[in-house]
Chains A and B, each alone.
Chain A
């Protein structure tokens, strides 16, 4: 067992040099200490809640998508023994699809056992409808009346069925830690993650397409085992991690609702995520070379594999398709991650830091040539060859920190990010960033921090990926490969007024300039200004306020004629967020009140300039208002009444979705879902009993 008495701690730190042994605690009986008595205590919460309206969007992540009543059920349990054993159980939202449960049992300093379960529901689409039958399965069929040449000719009025596009993630976590010896600890954790439900996909036949609902039936099992060794100067650990992903169906087959343009293209098949595995060995360590120099490092070697059987290249038996080059991918991508860091404190004022990191994804999968089948309709003459991408990233950092009088602190550094890629237009990029930060205590209550950075990314020759047909416009510069200048500045000031009020104000500006790009992303800019205030109004009342306004702009260019740029697009996002929180204790602590209000406004504008007179896009807008009021009233020492009201409204306009019904676009059968709009009230009333 790790013996680490307080005395030992302070002595080891030099805090109690000669005096430590002289402290006689034999008379420190702690008679007035309100220790928890050995035994079990806990709480039980029960009550009822009500949701005023249906809204898939509101219910996303919350399990509150359906109108109606729900049960409030939760609680906690604590157990303590006199010999160091302990246990706790916490349960929340057991009456909803966001239920969670966690439990811990252990003996202080010896072992810990953990158990956890949680559900996270997703429900993001309001108003979704589909004519497909068999939703939830691996094969979607159509009722009578299909196929038809266009959506307007389809019998949608009679065949569209509302559908809840929902999924849920359920997680079971089991963990254990055992302090084998004073310096040794071993840990084991296992996670079983199940995700099921529906997800939106789309399948096309040449120029017509349908939005589809694919089944989600995924299981991910993760295991991590580690052993660590710790002394006052050395920390080291080794770990093994495995992640096994399994998917139920390997494909979604759907009937083509559009009249086939090519004979035989009556159904298609989409590949669903294939089973895959990831295994990784990791080691990490840190060592205090001297009290002034500390070094640490990590190394991890991993392998991703995937070998699910290939689907057929087409379901169209009328197409003459050559044989596949293999029955499965036998895919393998090796990962290597390593880093080293050293920090040296030269003197009370100066500290130097240096680090290096390398991340490699080495895709060992064979490059194979496949018949060029396009949407179950055509077969190209030239096979298509797969491109297993590999990446190597090296990061170097060096910086110096200075701490001076009057609270002055400054740091400056040089970062370099080198990347090497395979099978892309650019082989290498190198980004060098110079940065500096400075701060000072303006007076006893005010601190000021400034920061700035300039980054310059240059690449090797930007070529043409001729192995991909058709090729991109030679003037295109993909933004992650292109030359770029990146500048950012920021300022923050924090002010405290006594011990009760703190005010923080900040502004951040960033600018990207792709100075050698003609087509593609040309520039980006963001500005964020905000602040927060925390105030203890009095001993019983706390206030918190935050606000931010943000502008994000970008400009890009394209060429419709596969030549010089002939159109430009400007995107401009404006976001305002304001939040206020209040907590208040009344009636001598018997009544606790809390209120949280958040207002969020977002507007996104897109202007596309083709030099011709084209209709503009309306702005996309989202407005969210949220108010939560909570109250707890202590009826008795062990009985508390709980109540809350949550109101949230969202109003949004999005031209991508608004007015796009399943039959709006002749060659696109959509789900007809709409931009989020809701106004929902949630009431909760319950009691908490403490035992």
Chain B
């Protein structure tokens, strides 16, 4: 209760603090612009537009200016360049390249003065809020409902840090190539997917977005569903139940026994049985017995059935629960 009271007090503080902040805000430059590096101030949305729109841009941004990773004309393969879309940048009467990159009159005149436009590139000197403005102006859907409270927003990611606009197929929107985008930052997960047991992400059969919502969500780790288990049940509905004989940690949280990205053990287990099970089971009798190398094939000890092959699951095979009337010990 103390914490709840503290949070309520802090919420009240937020509102009070904002009322002061709002006054300060009104008298100052926009938040993002004020903290932007000096170079970014060269970008000014009130600057003139180019003389001929995209024709002006393409006069310089031709094949010669392309690189292995960037192709200006690639945008014409995308939905953004669909002339039949009245909402799109290249729709009738719209601002073409400058719809996203901002007024380019000065850029066209000065040549390499990149900072006078919104380049949308990762090395842009513009603050993220400014880089994102043209994207968020149209893309207002519910996918970003929780963006403001997510880790990606906290890290000030720009839309174009993940999305590519000048390619026919944006890699992050294609299941097979999406992980390459995410794993550029999530390095530990990249290594996890190379472990002996993993979800088929490195095989191109699953994408990160099968479980996670990159634009934020209500759950921990930005899962697509409200809880870990509801997320897992999306594919593993056979584990959902409710079952007659439930295994408490299974019903509570799949990640108590399984790791989600990769494990050196089969079935993404965090630890191999019997030790995995003996972390929570120590009743008198065989569950409490220490299994050692004596029970290996050719060893002098007994109890091999408790150690080898499936170990505990050699008998208790219904570890996810059972609907059998005699399944109390998860053996039927």
CB contact under 8 A between A201 and B21, given known A598-B194, A664-B297:
no
Report the separation of the CA atoms of residues A300 and B239 in the bound assembly, to the nearest whole angstrom: 21
CB contact under 8 A between A28 and B190, given known A207-B305, A401-B154, A478-B280:
no
Whether A667 pairs with B305 at a CB distance below 8 angstroms is: yes
Whether A556 pairs with B3 at a CB distance below 8 angstroms is: no
Interface string of A11-39 (1 = CB under 8 A from B): 01111111100010111111111111000
Task: Pick from A135-143, A227-235, A633-641, A679-687 the stretch touching chain B.
Answer: A227-235
Report the separation of the CA atoms of residues A108 and B80 in the bound assembly, to the nearest whole angstrom: 10
Whether B315 pairs with A539 at a CB distance below 8 angstroms is: no
Interface string of A559-598 (1 = CB under 8 A from B): 1101000110101010101010001010000000000001
Report the separation of the CA atoms of residues A645 and B34 in the bound assembly, to the nearest whole angstrom: 53
Whether A335 pairs with B230 at a CB distance below 8 angstroms is: yes
Give the chain B neighbours of A676 by CB distance below 8 A: 196
Chain B: number of interface residues, binned into ranges: 35 or more
Whether B146 pairs with A296 at a CB distance below 8 angstroms is: yes
Whether B76 pairs with A34 at a CB distance below 8 angstroms is: yes
Whether B317 pairs with A201 at a CB distance below 8 angstroms is: yes
Give the chain A neighbours of B299 by CB distance below 8 A: 615
Report the separation of the CA atoms of residues A311 and B68 in the bound assembly, to the nearest whole angstrom: 63
Does chain B have a CB within 8 A of A513? Answer: no
Give the chain B neighbours of A175 by CB distance below 8 A: none
Report the separation of the CA atoms of residues A650 and B20 in the bound assembly, to the nearest whole angstrom: 63
Whether B280 pairs with A476 at a CB distance below 8 angstroms is: yes
Give the chain A neighbours of B288 by CB distance below 8 A: 473, 558-560, 562
Q: Could you say which of B14, B242, B282 contacts A476, with CB atoms under 8 Å apart?
A: B282
CB contact under 8 A between A348 and B34, given known A5-B91, A373-B326, A391-B252:
yes
Q: Could you say which of A335, A405, A472 contacts B281, with CB atoms under 8 Å apart?
A: A472
Give the chain A neighbours of B35 by CB distance below 8 A: 348-349, 403, 405
Whether A4 pairs with B149 at a CB distance below 8 angstroms is: no
Does chain B have a CB within 8 A of A462? Answer: no
B170 CB, nearest partner CB in chain A, Å: 13
A541 CB, nearest partner CB in chain B, Å: 7
B243 CB, nearest partner CB in chain A, Å: 7
Whether B283 pairs with A471 at a CB distance below 8 angstroms is: yes
Whether B278 pairs with A504 at a CB distance below 8 angstroms is: no
Does chain A have a CB within 8 A of B109? Answer: no
Q: Which residue of chain B has its CB nearest to the CB of A119?
A: B205
Q: Which residue of chain A has its CB nearest to the CB of B15?
A: A344
Whether A270 pairs with B318 at a CB distance below 8 angstroms is: yes
Does chain B have a CB within 8 A of A203? Answer: yes
CB contact under 8 A between A298 and B218, given known A268-B332, A556-B279, A652-B196:
yes
Within 8 A of A (CB), among B281-326: 281-285, 288-294, 296-301, 304-305, 307-311, 313-315, 317-318, 322-326
Interface size on A, residues (CB 8 A): 231
Whether B25 pairs with A388 at a CB distance below 8 angstroms is: no
Interface string of B228-240 (1 = CB under 8 A from A): 0110011101111
Whether A270 pairs with B324 at a CB distance below 8 angstroms is: yes
Q: Which residue of chain B has its CB nearest to the CB of A274?
A: B323
Does chain B have a CB within 8 A of A313? Answer: yes
Q: Could you say which of B46, B226, B297 contacts A19, with CB atoms under 8 Å apart?
A: B46
B6 CB, nearest partner CB in chain A, Å: 8
Give the chain A neighbours of B188 by CB distance below 8 A: 506, 508, 528, 530, 548
Q: Could you say which of B46, B154, B331 contacts A375, with CB atoms under 8 Å apart?
A: B331
CB contact under 8 A between A7 and B317, given known A520-B280, A667-B305:
no
Give the chain B neighbours of A368 by CB distance below 8 A: 244
CB contact under 8 A between A540 and B53, given known A245-B237, A296-B145, A329-B244:
no
CB contact under 8 A between A306 and B243, given known A290-B22, A345-B21, A583-B68:
yes
Report the separation of the CA atoms of residues A483 and B331 in the bound assembly, to the nearest whole angstrom: 31
Q: Which residue of chain B has its CB nearest to the CB of A341?
A: B149
Does chain B have a CB within 8 A of A176? Answer: no
Does chain B have a CB within 8 A of A657? Answer: yes
Report the separation of the CA atoms of residues A209 and B312 in the bound assembly, to the nearest whole angstrom: 11
Give the chain B neighbours of A403 by CB distance below 8 A: 35
Does chain A have a CB within 8 A of B163? Answer: no
Q: Could you say which of B32, B266, B311 contacts A348, with CB atoms under 8 Å apart?
A: B32
CB contact under 8 A between A478 and B308, given known A30-B90, A271-B327:
no
Does chain A have a CB within 8 A of B77? Answer: yes
Report the separation of the CA atoms of residues A376 and B327 in the bound assembly, to the nearest whole angstrom: 11
Whether B4 pairs with A284 at a CB distance below 8 angstroms is: no
Whether A389 pairs with B253 at a CB distance below 8 angstroms is: no
Does chain B have a CB within 8 A of A40? Answer: no
Whether A608 pairs with B284 at a CB distance below 8 angstroms is: no
Does chain B have a CB within 8 A of A85? Answer: yes
Whether B149 pairs with A355 at a CB distance below 8 angstroms is: yes
Q: Which residue of chain A has its CB nearest to the CB of B291?
A: A608
Whether B242 pairs with A332 at a CB distance below 8 angstroms is: yes
Give the chain A neighbours of B314 by CB distance below 8 A: 202, 204, 209, 211, 668
Interface string of B29-40 (1 = CB under 8 A from A): 101101100000
Q: Could you say which of A274, A395, A520 contacts B279, with CB atoms under 8 Å apart?
A: A520
Report the separation of the CA atoms of residues A356 and B218 in the bound assembly, to the nearest whole angstrom: 9
Give the chain B neighbours of A598 by CB distance below 8 A: 194
Task: Pick from A46-54, A76-84, A158-166 the stretch touching chain B.
Answer: A76-84
Q: Could you say which of A14, A30, A109, A528 contacts B54, with CB atoms under 8 Å apart?
A: A30
Report the separation of the CA atoms of residues A376 and B325 in the bound assembly, to the nearest whole angstrom: 11
CB contact under 8 A between A521 and B82, given known A25-B94, A228-B142, A230-B142:
no
Report the separation of the CA atoms of residues A355 and B55 in the bound assembly, to the nearest whole angstrom: 48
Report the separation of the CA atoms of residues A411 and B81 in the bound assembly, to the nearest whole angstrom: 40
Give the chain A neighbours of B10 by CB distance below 8 A: 352, 354, 398
Whether A386 pairs with B244 at a CB distance below 8 angstroms is: yes
Report the separation of the CA atoms of residues A96 and B103 in the bound assembly, to the nearest whole angstrom: 50
Report the separation of the CA atoms of residues A208 and B306 in the bound assembly, to the nearest whole angstrom: 11
Task: Pick from A65-73, A259-267, A452-460, A616-624 the stretch touching chain B.
Answer: A616-624
Does chain B have a CB within 8 A of A155? Answer: no
Report the separation of the CA atoms of residues A276 and B256 in the bound assembly, to the nearest whole angstrom: 23
Give the chain A neighbours of B52 by CB distance below 8 A: 27-29
CB contact under 8 A between A665 and B304, given known A83-B84, A235-B141:
yes
Give the chain A neighbours of B332 by CB distance below 8 A: 203, 268-271, 375
Report the separation of the CA atoms of residues A660 and B299 in the bound assembly, to the nearest whole angstrom: 12
Whether A343 pairs with B292 at a CB distance below 8 angstroms is: no
Give the chain A neighbours of B331 by CB distance below 8 A: 203-204, 374-375
Whether A665 pairs with B79 at a CB distance below 8 angstroms is: no
B274 CB, nearest partner CB in chain A, Å: 9
Whether A235 pairs with B140 at a CB distance below 8 angstroms is: yes
Does chain A have a CB within 8 A of B171? Answer: no
Q: Could you say which of A228, A401, A562 contacts B284, with CB atoms under 8 Å apart?
A: A562
Report the separation of the CA atoms of residues A302 and B233 in the bound assembly, to the nearest whole angstrom: 13
Give the chain B neighbours of A5 by CB distance below 8 A: 86-87, 91, 93-94
Within 8 A of B (CB), among A171-208: 185, 193, 200-204, 207-208
Whether B79 pairs with A579 at a CB distance below 8 angstroms is: no
CB contact under 8 A between A370 and B326, given known A344-B17, A401-B154:
yes
Q: Could you say which of A31, A298, A310, A652 contacts B55, with CB atoms under 8 Å apart?
A: A31
Give the chain A neighbours of B73 by CB distance below 8 A: 34
CB contact under 8 A between A17 and B46, given known A337-B227, A521-B279:
yes
Report the separation of the CA atoms of residues A364 and B278 in the bound assembly, to the nearest whole angstrom: 30
Q: Could you say which of B82, B184, B300, B309 contacts A660, with CB atoms under 8 Å apart?
A: B309
Report the separation of the CA atoms of residues A35 and B76 in the bound assembly, to the nearest whole angstrom: 5
A257 CB, nearest partner CB in chain B, Å: 14
Report the separation of the CA atoms of residues A215 and B281 in the bound assembly, to the nearest whole angstrom: 30
19 A–B contacts, CB within 8 A, in A order: A6-B94, A108-B88, A204-B314, A292-B18, A298-B146, A306-B323, A313-B325, A370-B244, A371-B326, A387-B246, A414-B3, A421-B248, A423-B248, A519-B282, A530-B191, A602-B264, A624-B196, A665-B305, A668-B305
Other contacts beyond A271-B322, A562-B283: 8, CB < 8 A: A108-B87, A292-B21, A389-B252, A423-B248, A470-B283, A473-B288, A532-B184, A676-B196
> What 6 pairs across the A-B complex have the smallest Cβ distances?
A6-B99, A28-B53, A9-B137, A84-B84, A615-B293, A337-B226
